[in-house]
Amino acid sequence: MKFGKELASQMVPEWQEAYMDYNNLKKLLKDILRFRQQNVLSSSSPMARTGSLKRRLNRAFSGLANRDNILKGGSPRKNEEEVILVGSVQHEGSENYQTMFLRSSDAGGQFELVFFKALDDEFNKVVRFYKEKVQEVKGAAEELSKQMDALIALRTAVDKLVVQRFASDINAESSSGFPGPATVVASVNGVKPVSTLRKCIMSSKSDVSCSREELRKVEEQLRRAFVEFYQQLRILKSYCFLNMLAFSKIVKKYDKITSRNASKSYLEMVDNSYLGSSEEVNKLIERLEAAFVKHFANGNRKKGMKSLKPKHKKEKHRTTFFLGLFTGCSIALVSGIIVSIHAGNLLDHPGRGQYMDTIFPLYSLFGYIFLHMLMYGANTYFWKRFSVNYPFIFGFKPGTELGFREIFLVASGLSVLALAATLANLDMEMDQRTARFQTLTELVPLGLIAVVLLITFCPFNIIYRSSRFFLIQCAWRCILAPLYKVTMADFFLADQFTSQIQAIRCIQFYICYYIWGDFTTRSTTFLKSNTYEIFYIVIAVIPFWSRVLQCLRRLFEEKDISQGFNSLKYFSTVAALVLRTIYYLRRGSFWRIMAASSSGFTTLFNTYWDIVIDWGLLQRNSKNPLLRDKLLVPNKAVYFIAILVLDIQDTPFLHRKAMVALVASLEILRRGIWNFFRLENEHLNNVGRYRAFKHVPLPFNYADEKIL
């Protein structure tokens, strides 16, 4: 692999602009090479020898003052064969490195001047960014040191209180010599008191178990902070190494093209600079490893380092094997269903209408889920291809995120189960003696639901447990909005639910069909009930209302007025959905007008918000007309096609279940397209702010505290 591609693959995606622009410098070197190839002068030409002599004579005169020392830190010129002089100068209060090119009078020297100017700009950019990040991690290290001091004090206090409580239980306080509560509080005053520490100690006076629980929570929280900080240090160290290597590669490539010897001088400057000589990050890493092993791994270095170092996913051949197996089985089952339909002439069967009203909604639920999983798998593939850091954006633990193969594997496994159940449940003939369908056959969809739920909530470490539990936790926070703080994963999942209205209604149908109705006769009289109609509307409103509450919580917490408008967007969708559903159930000219007007308004509102706010497109004065300055997809037509696809989201006035399923599927496809560009915009926002790390809240708060 060429170094340029290797550098791009190892970059921190959010720091792309802070790395040395290796490709641009390579282009400048190609310009030099192209000029040299086109303008090579014969060494035997008299004019060439005369010109060479003049250049040597010109270079021989160094002036009345030593010009070679005009750069601070630049080494004096040692011989006439030197190409560059490198040193540092003060510019606007900061130290910048500059290169003086000594062969500018040579043919093509102007191209080389441009190269070294760009090289200096890139190096100064890298050094400035590295200094800023080092100062940030030094400040974070000081804060973690304070937190660690408080934790040690808390551990000491809790241990003493446990011993004291044990001593009091055996009525030995007077002879034991253990300190009382007041002494314990005084012993903690060696560090700066904090509110959490005070709370734990005060609660310990009456209940030691409470103190133990508080201590466990604090330790776990601080442990996560140490792990996250360690990843920051490793990434910063990698940033330094990759850029040092990039500068070495590019100047050596310059030497090779020009047959000069400039790399030695330049790389000496790189080694002596802050980027090459600073050991602060390495020392922080060593101290953090020692502290973590001592305080969180009981001195077991192997165990401690295993917790600190990130877990890298390993591609497993069995994933690809089972994906191919399940895909082949799905194709075979689809073929079997088609053959069964044609062999039994089921499309013209008198019971076809009853089957579509009862059995079709039961299995369409799995079709919606399967299609959504396919779209999410495609999203992860393209996110990875275009370097969108989706694991960081969603907050997945390192090494636990599912790639597109794993997602497709789960989707294909679900399709095998659903298609096998469908094939077993194609019966449309009722037993004439009992006037009922076979009970076992009719319970197949319910059994399929039970299997899916068992897999989803299975507590054992099988079938991607961490991802399943992450999904369950996010769904729980969406349901209980606004009781929980809203994260990116939470409102992203809630948006997915807004595109699965028909799937949620299928769940309602399941409950009513097997509890309220008579599944043995495929009776659906409950569909005409007013109660069912009310819940039919309420069920569809829940995902949008959850987003309204999430937006309101973010409005009050973040003081972001745009979240207020976002909540109005979802509220208008709720109103349009209710009116359309009422029209679907009741008909009438009045409801038709209300449904059409509300749908038109919310369609315009949603389309504008999706394109301008969520995707960041249609920016004024953008270098990419009607789009934005930065695009990850090279083909701009993709963005315009995606904009047009948004218009399928609110197709009104549907009558048949098959058409409802078709439009619901189109909505899922639209959501999948929205997902890619929404995360692309979020990733570019992170890139613009160089935001590459998660914020882990610390357990102790030092603000405005007084001595106990």
d(CA 391, CA 14): 12
The DSSP-derived string for 383-428 is: HHHTT--HHHHHTPPTTT---HHHHHHHHHHHHHHHHHHHHHT---
Both tokens of 602, joined, read: 């919310």
Which residue from 379, 409, 406, 408 is spatially nearest to 394, judged by alpha carbons?
Answer: 379
- Asked if 700 and 215 touch (Cβ cutoff 8 Å), the reply is no
| Residue 178 in this model has a pLDDT that exceeds 60 | no
Within 33-166, strands assigned E span 84-91, 94-101
The Cα 656–Cα 335 span in angstroms is 25
> How remote is the C-alpha of 596 from its chain's centroid?
38
The full set of domain ranges for the chain reads: 134-308, 317-688
Half-sphere exposure of 332 (CA within 13 A, CB side): 9
- Distance (Å) of CA 295 to CA 155, 191, 222: 11, 18, 11
At 96-118, the pLDDT tens digits run 888 888 877 777 788 888 898 99
Read off the pLDDT band of 92 (50, 70, 90): low
* Confidence (pLDDT) at 54: 45
Highest average pLDDT, of 7-11, 174-178, 249-253, 306-310, comes from 249-253
Does residue 69 carry a pLDDT above 50? no
Q: Are 613 and 605 in contact (CB under 8 A)?
A: no
Mean pLDDT of 45-50: 46
Taking only the tens place, the pLDDT of each residue in 219-263 is 888 888 888 889 889 989 999 999 999 999 999 998 888 888 888
Name beta bridge partners: 431.
436
CB-based contact 254:264 (threshold 8 Å):
no
Q: Residue 456's pLDDT is what?
A: 94
- Distance (Å, rounded) from C-alpha 705 to C-alpha 708? 9
Residue 126 · residue 133 · CB < 8 Å: no
Total residue count of the chain as it appears in this document? 708
Which pLDDT band holds residue 690 (cuts at 50, 70, 90)?
Answer: low
Interatomic CA distance for residues 107 and 59, integer angstroms: 15
In the numeric block, which tokens belong to residue 276? 């090459």
pLDDT at 413: 95
pLDDT higher than 50, residue 182: no
Torsion angles phi and psi, residue 695, rounded to 5: -90, 120
For residue 66, pLDDT beyond 90: no
Q: Tell whether the torsion through CA atoms of 520, 523, 527 and 532 is positive or negative.
A: negative
SS3 content of the chain, % helix, strand, coil (to 5): 70, 5, 25
Amino acid at position 329, single letter? C
DSSP 3-state of 85? strand
DSSP string, 169-228: HTT-HHHH----HHHHHHHHTTS---HHHHHHHHHHTT-HHHHHHHHHHHHHHHHHHHHH
pLDDT over 60 at 177, yes or no: no
Give ∠ CA 546-548-551 in degrees, rounded to 5: 110
User: How large is the average pLDDT for residues 325-343?
Assistant: 93
Contact between residue 150 and residue 197 where contact means Cβ atoms under 8 Å apart: yes
- Using the predicted structure, report yes or no on whether residue 299 has a pLDDT greater than 90: no
* Both tokens assigned to 330: 């799905």
* Helix/strand/coil for 435: coil
Res 648: pLDDT: 52
> Helices marked H in 512-560 — which ranges?
530-558
**Cα 150 from Cα 23, distance rounded (Å):** 48
Give the whole-number percent of the chain exceeding pLDDT 90.
32
> Looking at 159-173, 175-189, 352-366, which range is the least confident one?
175-189
Crossing angle of helices 301-308/280-296, nearest 10°? 120
107 exposed, middle or buried (CB, 10 Å; 0-12, 13-18, 19+)? middle
pLDDT for residue 10: 86
pLDDT tens column, 588-635: 788 888 888 888 898 889 889 999 999 988 888 888 888 888 888 888
What gap in Å lies between CA 655 and CA 444, rounded to an integer? 28
Name residue 101's beta-bridge partners: 84
So what's the pLDDT on residue 174? 43
Q: Are 557 and 614 in contact (CB under 8 A)?
A: no
The pairs formed by 566-569 with CB atoms below 8 angstroms and a separation of 24 or more are 566/609, 566/613, 569/602, 569/605, 569/606, 569/609
Q: Which range, of 265-279, 405-419, 579-593, averages the lowest pLDDT?
A: 579-593
pLDDT band at 692 (very low <50, low <70, confident <90, very high): low
pLDDT tens digits for 376-403?
Answer: 999 999 998 888 889 888 988 877 889 9
Cα–Cα dist 698/218, whole Å: 9
CB-count burial class (<10 Å; 0-12, 13-18, 19+) for 116:
buried
Q: Closest Cα to residue 517, out of 429, 445, 431?
A: 445
**Which of 125-139, 420-434, 532-546, 642-656 has the least mean pLDDT?**
642-656
